[in-house]
Amino acid sequence: MILWCARNPVLMECRLTPPSAVVTILGMSAPAYDILKDDLSRFHQQGPAFVTFGEVMIRDTPADLERPERTRLVHLSPAGSEYSVAVGLARLGIPSAYVTRVPDNPYGQAVRNIARENGVNTDYFVWAPKTEPMGRMIYEIGRTPRRSVTIYQRKYSAASKLDAGLVNWKEALSSAKLFHTSGITFGLAAHSNYDRNYCHEAFQEAVARMPEGCLVGLDFNYRSALWTVEQAREVMTPIVAEHVDVLVTTLGNMAELYGIGCGRYSAQQIVAGDIGRPEDDDLRRFAQQVHEKFKTTIVAITIRYPDSFEQHRWESAAVHADGTFFRSPAVQPITLCDRLGGGDVWTAGFYYGLLTEDFHPSGMAKGVLVGDAATRLKQTLMFDLPIIDKSEVQALMATDIGVCDKSAGFPPGGTAKLV
């Protein structure tokens, strides 16, 4: 079986493990996966198969249950979208590298050390003078009915000046199968009122030096605290349209920036939060519009249903440009400890499915299942990083599929069943 990638036209072989059970997805059969049995040896024969770049902030979280203005004791922890994705994939066994620019001081060294202890390659860190600032985030965890509060202090950060010419991208990407970043990284320049978008220029340099067969993934991740809708749309539209093969997004981001609705729900309803659970056809129509606008190969959609600040429900879906569709077996509950990093860890799990199935459409099913399990585990933990292991993810995946098997299929709106 083969996959044709429109942006980077190569043929990639699929290596599918013979399944012990089968999930039927709109006529396409894919294994009911056991990720503990995945043969990852081919990924360990060269350099990192996954490479990403962005900013890591130092997150300040009150350690004494006080509010930030009153606390005298804080937990310091690293927080960064791409950083969490790299850690998540490395912990699942995919050789991963993270590229950033940090000051050569204890905070920058801590970012490097924590990455290394989780198996992430840091060979391509760019070291700035120790007096340059790192981005910071003050975070107050909400409890019903009080909302969480996030305050960015990211202006003029070392990472915001990760410019072209600072990284040997040809070497860093020499073995890469997937190069990833997020919209957050491209918003740093506007946030700092720069005349140039340094990270955008670094990205352009990187994609020009990618090896044949390397795909580009992007989590859209619009942050209104960094830039306006108009600023984001001007920068992000050509990036996605010209370079991105795998787009991870939310209904809200596409509705707010591009007026894209979701079937029976208009963009205005989505932005206002006035929608119910989308049907399969709604999600297909949403993805079709995104594919048509950006010429992407895969669109992945994460959907969070916040019932309260402590209780959320989660599901996701992925749609290939060829029409292949897969949705979570069920909407699953999460009792939150800390939601930050949840979307990033889902992306790591989704990429795991794609990478281990050589980007065949069947890998979307595996990615959705791994991503859903990984993010639900992570969101029961404090802080951003996914300190979870593969056996935990596999056990939760098996539970999820088992629940569906016992109910003789997926709940209403599902698209697959065990046979």
pLDDT tens for residues 154-184? 999 999 999 999 999 999 999 999 999 999 9
Q: How far apart are CA 116 and CA 255, in angstroms?
A: 38
Query: Rounded to 5 degrees, what angle do the CA atoms 351, 355, 358 make?
Result: 140
pLDDT tens for residues 373-396? 999 999 999 999 999 999 999 999
Mean pLDDT, the chain, integer: 90
Residue 125 has pLDDT above 70, yes or no: yes
Kindly state the greatest CA–CA separation across the chain.
Answer: 61
For each of the domains in the chain, give its residue range(s) and CATH number, in order of start.
Answer: 20-418 (3.40.1190.20)
Among 77, 126, 172, 154, CA closest to 386? 77
Residue 291 has pLDDT above 50, yes or no: yes
What are the angstrom distances between the C-alpha of 393 and each of 230, 248, 373? 39, 21, 6
More confident call, 49 vs 414: 49
pTM exceeds 0.85 for this model:
yes
pLDDT tens for residues 215-240? 999 999 999 999 999 999 999 999 99
38, 386 Cβ separation under 8 angstroms: no
Over residues 138-142, the mean pLDDT reads 95
**Per-residue model confidence (pLDDT) at position 401:** 77
Q: How far apart are CA 198 and CA 200, in angstroms?
A: 5
Residues whose CB is less than 8 angstroms from the CB of residue 120 and which lie 6 or more positions away in sequence, other chains included: 86, 87, 90, 96, 97, 98
